[in-house]
Amino acid sequence: MNFCSECAQPISQLVPEGDNRQRYVCLSCDIVHYKNPSIVAGTLPTYQEQILLCKRAIEPRKGYWTLPAGFMENGETTEEGALRETLEEANARIKNPRLYTMITVPHISQVHIFFHGELADLDFSCGPESLEVQLFDEVDIPWQELAFPTTSKTLKHFFSDRQTILNENLSTQLPTHVFDISEKDRLKLG
């Protein structure tokens, strides 16, 4: 940020009075331009034993597989954002979405929020940002070709939770997982 988006004067970087962090400040307008984390909203769509993944048609990570997700828009809820992205990327509809993972990725200042839900039907197809959209059994998940660590971590939690629920014969719902992914984790995961 070099210039004030309100008045076009050069921006100063300083710690405002009563604050404890350096901010982008316009001394001409006397306003602080805050930079805050962004929300990525998406879904973990399942159909019976299978998981829906999309192969990305766009950068970053073009050609890699991801859960349908994207930046939340102003004026919508987290759930609406997640369902919209699922519709845009996979032309897919989800029944009874429930919050499943909330993952902060602090080194890029993003919070990724995934809702789990069953596909309402099998009438899915590629949106403009996808090269392929496909259902996978657990054994066929392309672990080496996943686009983002928030996708792989969400899938790992899901298979683990599903096994626990099966083993213990529980009629329970999936839990919600809140965690973060550091830059080190990201590199480990490829």
**What does the binding site for Zn ion look like in residue numbers (CB under 5 A)?**
4, 6-7, 26, 28-29
Interface with a second copy (CB under 8 A), residue from 36, 48, 144, 169: 36
Q: Answer yes or no whether residue 38 interacts with a second copy by CB under 8 A.
A: yes
Tokens of 131: 């090269």
Interface with a second copy (CB under 8 A), residue from 30, 122, 123, 128: 128
Beta-carbon contacts of 167 under 8 Å, excluding residues fewer than 6 positions away, are: none
**Least distance between Zn ion and beta carbon 125 (Å):** 37
Interface with a second copy (CB under 8 A), residue from 34, 48, 170, 171: 34
* Bridging pattern class, strands 177-180 and 94-105: parallel
- Helical H runs in the chain? 78-90, 149-167, 183-188
Q: Answer yes or no whether residue 96 interacts with a second copy by CB under 8 A.
A: no
**Least distance between a second copy and beta carbon 90 (Å):** 16
Residue 44: in which H helix or E strand, if any?
strand 38-47
* Bridging pattern class, strands 69-71 and 38-47: antiparallel
Q: Answer yes or no whether residue 4 interacts with a second copy by CB under 8 A.
A: yes
**Least distance between Zn ion and beta carbon 72 (Å):** 24
Look at the block and give the residue holding tokens 């990201």.
186
Query: Which is nearest to 72 in space by CA: 107, 36, 46?
Result: 36
Interface with a second copy (CB under 8 A), residue from 22, 125, 164, 176: 176
Amino acid at 94: I
Binding site for a second copy (CB under 8 A): 1-8, 11, 18, 21, 33-39, 71-80, 98-99, 102, 104, 106-107, 109, 111, 113, 128, 176, 178, 180
